[in-house]
A and B are shown apart, each in its own frame.
Chain A
Amino acid sequence: MSRLYTFGTTVTKNEFAAIRGKRHRTIVYLVMILVFTFLCIGFANKALEYQKKLAVNPFSNWINIEVTRNVQDSSMNLLQALSEPALRDRFLIRNIYLSKGFGASFLDCNGIPSGLPLPKARTIDPGSPVIADLLDSPLECNTIDRRNVFREEPFGFVVTNGFLEKLGFHGDSVKYLSYGLCGDDYIPVHILGVVRDLPDHADALCTDSFYIMKSFSYQEDPFFSKLFIETTDPGRVEEFKSGLQQDFNLTADTTVTDAKRGLAVLSFSKNLPATRQLFSHHLSILYQSAGLRKFHFGPFFDVAPDTSAEMIENYVKKKRNFNFDYLAVEFSRLDKLQEFSGFIRKRYNVSMNMETVEQRQNFLFSLNISLGAILLLLIISGLSILIFLSNSLKNHLDKVKRNLGNFMAFGASRGMIIGIYTAVIFKILLISILIAFAVACAAGELFDHFILKRMLILGSGQDYFSLFNTWLPVFICIVIVVALLKTAVSVRNLLKKSPGDLIYERENNASAGYSPVNTYPDPL
């Protein structure tokens, strides 16, 4: 069936072609402006996203106040004072606690100690939101349920991916690391999570409890109820279990194996007298057992499932006899940092490293500046699009206003003509936006992939461009709505004149000799 000719479709088609211009000039210019804008949005969005991530990142909102011997007491007082929620709220502090930094030794994938300088480790408050934040987006979280992390069993380290790679491991291939106690004594410990970064550029993170418990001989501790055995042959694990049963009447409840590393972990029921005996008296005897001598085995650093947090806390309190290095303060926002610095200096004579304060404030400032710059850029881009479209339309209307007067003389209503021009501008904008979106997507991804990641080697883990964000639809909607409103107003203002004034190009101006009698009534 043939398509009906209508005034709307005929005029829309021809006006679209006319405003689009020769060789699609209007669309080409619009696409150029839009591609530039979209690229800016794509890159700026990612940059801002990254900065925002850093801003809410516990590492960025984290200040370490060094606890030297001189300020030890005042630091403790400060810690006590900041347990008050009102004071925390005043300075936007979400957590404060004492922390210990230490060097930790681990065996690499070849069983060789990691060497000097020792990997950097630090302790963290188990209640710190940092833990939750870290384990919310781990690279590999292994199999540990994070609700239990640092609270009850198991104990272990959160490590960085880079550190694991340094040791020759990959995040997804390892569940345990051999951690060095005093001397050459290395025992397996859990990897609780593998993350990209840790506070203070540490390689590993653990709790105070873990740090304290590992500092003492596991043979004295009543909590440990696991043994590890290293073997590449799973059958030998059963052989080892049979040996334990036969020689010491010990039954292992469960066996957790890490087949890739040939490591098996045997769990025992802690409440059995034989288990307690094993860890308090028999471990050295086990090593001497003729039947078990051929195996490489030892205690696994973990607490029994039925060990309560309270028991660990009591134990830790009893054993705590070391000095902390830092008072770690985590802020929810950095706005009150300067004020907090003044407060602790004045009240507690505790100084914060001003360089750190300034660094954090600069970061906050740069974040706000970035946000402002992006908004300014969007406003300028939006305005340039609107001005360009408005001028294109104005030039066209100037050319055809006598013809439009003619249309009105033939009975075309003002609303009909306004509708046609808004539809034309919408069509031009929509086509330009779709083309610009496709071009910007391709250009942005190519730039991100080939220039930023390959040539500038900015790191392949981070994306530097994405158009799928909230900025883009908001920008597009605002541009479309304003452009259509501007179009409607421009056409309406032109068509306020009567058909006669439009056709004979009379200015509807009393000073030019024409009276308000000519004013065309506005139906809207």
Chain B
Amino acid sequence: MNAFEIENLECSYLEKGPAVVWIEKLGIPKGKLTVILGRSGSGKSTLLEALGLMNNTIREGRVTYHSPCRDENLAGIWHRYRKVAAIRKNRFSFIFQDDYLMPHYTNSENMLIARLIQGGMNPVPAGEMIDRLTGSLNLSGNGIRNKFPYQVAGGQRQRLSFARAMMKDFDILFGDEPTGNLDYKNSGRLIGYIKETIREKAATAIVVTHNIELSAEKADRIVMLSPCADKNRARFSIQPDHVFDRDGQDQWINYPEQDDLVAFIKNAI
């Protein structure tokens, strides 16, 4: 079962000329962590923004989102402002490379804010939720929750933005280079935490990253954007052999050794 079904998708910021990304057919499996890899400027974020309703970059094609209630074609949804806002509010959550924490809100308020968009909360359950998340993300010390973002370290701010995204009830979690500012160890922890959360919530995660090793280690599916053979159609596309899945033994199909996959991807990119 897929969360997204993509067919003949053309994404671009420009109305004319070749598209940035063309995807003939792709599914994003439900309940899994899908990682999008590609070189800089290969349209990873463009694709993510199209799927996450962050930007209307879909020029052609069909993107079907199988939400828990009903299927929505994201290609034709942008004129329905309230519908777009409702899907973002009730189904999607985001983590970005930068934390985008409100500088004048306390860390608690920053963590809660995405959840509050979905509806009001009583202070007690809100506090418990914050405690649980700050504990899991190692943010519980030194009264961090009552401090402001500028009073904590960069890594802590990044984890706070993780906490903000996780606190929300979501169906799809989008991450645009969420570990870009973290070292390998912390990146691994956070991606692991994402996997754990989507398993608990029966949700799906789509993450854009440049970290090939981490992707090979943690992802359930890797999708790689590479230069398109038909330059008149698009600059980048996903070739059928650039979609990598794991088998029943949690091994990469066709790549029993993880290092082989890493080497292949590095070479392809």
A-side interface residues toward B, CB under 8 Å? 2-7, 10-11, 14, 17-18, 399-400, 402-403, 405-414, 498-501, 503-504, 513-523
Beyond A14-B105, A411-B118, A412-B117, is A5–B88 a contact (Cβ under 8 Å)? no
Q: Is the CB of A10 within 8 A of B13?
A: no
Interface check B269, CB cutoff 8 A: no
B-side contacts of A513, CB under 8 Å:
13-14
In the assembled complex, the CB of B147 is this many whole angstroms from the nearest CB of chain A, namely 14
In the assembled complex, the CB of A166 is this many whole angstroms from the nearest CB of chain B, namely 70
Interface check B112, CB cutoff 8 A: yes
Q: Is the CB of B49 within 8 A of A500?
A: yes
Beyond A413-B82, A503-B96, A514-B13, is A4–B55 a contact (Cβ under 8 Å)? no
Beyond A10-B112, A411-B89, A413-B82, is A499–B54 a contact (Cβ under 8 Å)? yes
Q: Is the CB of A514 within 8 A of B14?
A: yes
How does the 8 Å CB contact mask read for B101-119 relative to A, with 1 for contact and 0 for none?
A: 1111100010011101111
Q: Is the interface of A mostly helix, strand, loop or mixed?
A: helix
Some 25 contacts from A to B, beta carbons below 8 A apart, are A2-B123, A4-B122, A5-B123, A7-B113, A7-B116, A403-B101, A407-B117, A409-B88, A410-B89, A410-B92, A410-B93, A410-B113, A411-B118, A414-B85, A498-B56, A499-B54, A499-B55, A501-B55, A503-B100, A516-B15, A517-B12, A518-B13, A518-B55, A519-B56, A520-B56
Interface check B202, CB cutoff 8 A: no
In the assembled complex, the CB of B164 is this many whole angstroms from the nearest CB of chain A, namely 8
Report B79-94 residues with CB < 8 Å from chain A CB: 79, 81-82, 85-90, 92-94
Q: Is the CB of B12 within 8 A of A515?
A: yes
Q: Is the CB of B117 within 8 A of A403?
A: no
Beyond A18-B104, A517-B12, A518-B13, is A408–B59 a contact (Cβ under 8 Å)? no
B side interface size, CB within 8 A:
49
Beyond A10-B109, A513-B13, is A413–B55 a contact (Cβ under 8 Å)? no
B-side contacts of A410, CB under 8 Å:
88-89, 92-94, 113-114, 117, 168
B-side contacts of A518, CB under 8 Å:
13, 55-57
Interface check B153, CB cutoff 8 A: no
B-side contacts of A516, CB under 8 Å:
15
Q: Is the CB of A5 within 8 A of B14?
A: no
In the assembled complex, the CB of A502 is this many whole angstroms from the nearest CB of chain B, namely 9
Q: Is the CB of B57 within 8 A of A517?
A: yes
A503 and B54 CA atoms in complex are apart in Å by 9
B-side contacts of A499, CB under 8 Å:
54-55, 88
Given contacts A499-B55, A517-B59, 16 further A-B contacts (CB under 8 A): A4-B122, A7-B120, A14-B105, A18-B104, A403-B100, A410-B117, A410-B168, A411-B86, A411-B88, A411-B89, A411-B92, A503-B100, A513-B14, A514-B14, A517-B12, A521-B78
Interface check B229, CB cutoff 8 A: no
A499 and B112 CA atoms in complex are apart in Å by 19
